[in-house]
Structure 1
Amino acid sequence: MNLICTSTRASLHTSTISSLLFLNLVGPPLAKFNPVPYVRSWVAKGHRTATDLRSKTRNREEEENLDMAVMWGVLDH
């Protein structure tokens, strides 16, 4: 149980922890899990795929941090 209910997962409901423990004890190994039917069902319900181009993309403009540039220049010498 300590592998399932860690300090970062302490806010899980008891029923969720119970389900995770059940899957951990009697579930098949991850290598035998086939996610394709579940993914198809997800997309068929109108959800977007991870590669959907209609999703918003993050603007990745790099900001120039002058304070750090000075520090980096000192470290190069």
Structure 2
Amino acid sequence: MNLIITDQRSKILIKHASALMFIKLHGPPLRQWNPSPYVTTWLRHNHRSADDSRTRVAAPISSDSPDALWQFL
């Protein structure tokens, strides 16, 4: 359980922790798992891929100087 619930996952629900522990105990080793069918299903349901470029680019911060933040005093 300490491998599943860490400082980063301290607010995980019991239901999700239970599912992750089941997979950890009874699932195949990671090197034998093939994620391709799951990725294909994900993309078929109109989800975006990790390298999708359709997201908007953040606007640059309009500042005269990079030190402007420290000149407030």
> What TM-score, normalized by structure 2, do the two folds share?
0.72
CA distance in 2, matches of 1:21, 1:39: 22
Q: Look up the match of 1:10.
A: 10
CA distance in 2, matches of 1:60, 1:38: 36
Q: How many residues align?
A: 66
Gap regions ≥5 residues in structure 1: 68-77
Gap regions ≥5 residues in structure 2: 69-73
Give identity over the alignment, percent: 38
> Is 1:50 matched up with 2:50?
yes
- Cα 1:3–1:57 change in 2 (3 A) is same
SS in 1 for 2:8: helix
> What TM-score, normalized by structure 1, do the two folds share?
0.69
Deviation at 1:66, TM superposition (A): 4.5
Structure 1 vs Structure 2 CA RMSD: 2.0
Please identify the structure whose Cα radius of gyration is greater.
1
